[in-house]
Amino acid sequence: MKQEGILLLEDGRAFRGYSCGAFGERTGEIVFNTSMTGYQEILTDPSYCGQIVNMTYPLIGNYGVNDEDVESDKPQVQGFVVKEISKRFSNFRAKMSLSSYLKKNNIVAIEGIDTRALTRHIRDKGAMKAIISTLDLNRESLQKKVENAPGIIGGDLVQMVSCKEKYIIPCKDKRAKIAVFDFGVKLNILRQLTSLNCELIVFPAQTKAEEILKEDIDGILLSNGPGDPEGVPYVIEEVAKLIKTKIPIFGICLGHQILCLALSGKTYKLKFGHRGANQPVLDLKTRKIDITSQNHGFCVDIKSLPETIEKTHINPNDNTLEGMAHRELPIFSVQYHPEASPGPHDSSYLFNRFIEKLVERS
């Protein structure tokens, strides 16, 4: 006997389906991701903290879940929505089914809803608060709960995903020592840097700039993370201090937004965000299009940036800012995820560019 489930949006639109994960009830911002694969990376990406993710591809889970393709130590999403979850899985690395993984990690998920209709609704009305439940199916009751739930704008989700204490990832043939400011860093960012022979010191989000500068570092990486960049003013303040040191800085996703805010820029919320593994990005110097992985609901206002900032990449779909570089300081950042592999290697050069800036400085 299937357990019924419901997804109720803030504007009253409801979608009924069946449980395919843990039983329970969760609130969050409803968003959609257009990726055909990579559901395990999506589930464990700290940037999805506070969100209920709707997968637009109709069949999810056919290659199961393994121990390697994770971006953090546990799933980070508030809830998961699919058209159909695969009852069978086949892959030589697979350890369990997606449904078993969701239940094991207490992630509420439903299947059997019209994900196309849900995606179109989000595109038309914008991302909004929602509630996913397999316990309470009463719309009036759920409507009150979702209205009382906290929103994304102005909130601080970084504290929920950042490490609690500083830790070190050593390297034998060390080329450089990098401070990683952890706002919810994906494991593959750390893997990319260590593969380039970098020793990493990972700092919690509440770390003061003075504490980071006590270490003999060659560069600073500002990581990805969830939520509204303006919701972490304490981080913006410390990044502004780090900029003054003229140490090379590389920002990714939320790190890009925080860096721009520290440089007197402004951010705003996109209607439904960019989330998927097929997002085009135009390099304004080479005029080359990279296929990138993205996951963000906020964006930097290009017009708000000072003249010392050069825009380097844009999204050709909506002309939003995808990358910037400082004209005088060794600072650059991108809105997308160069550590992901949709291209599969279209954006990996950015890590090499960062290391080159460290070598130039030394």
Separation of alpha carbons 64 and 61, rounded Å: 5
Q: Tokens at residue 208, please? A: 């003061």
φ/ψ bin of 235: left (φ > 0), alpha (ψ from -120 to 50), beta (otherwise): alpha
Q: Is 313 a catalytic residue?
A: no
User: Which long-range contacts (C-beta less than 8 Å, at least 24 apart) are formed by 137-142?
Assistant: 137/4, 137/5, 137/6, 139/6, 139/8, 139/12, 139/14, 142/6, 142/8
Q: Which of 253, 256, 296, 313 is catalytic?
A: 253
Separation of alpha carbons 113 and 83, rounded Å: 6
Separation of alpha carbons 45 and 276, rounded Å: 12
Return the closest-CA partner of residue 227 out of 297, 130, 305, 300.
297
Q: Which of 121, 256, 274, 337 is catalytic?
A: 337
Q: Is 253 a catalytic residue?
A: yes
Q: Is 345 a catalytic residue?
A: no
Query: How far is the first Cα of the chain from the last one, in angstroms, to the nearest whole number?
Result: 65
Separation of alpha carbons 5 and 23, rounded Å: 9
Q: Which of 230, 238, 322, 339 is catalytic?
A: 339
Helix (H, G, I), strand (E, B) or coil at 339: coil
Instruction: Tell me if 324 sits within 8 A of 281, measured CB to CB.
Output: no
Among all residues, which ones are annotated catalytic? 253, 337, 339
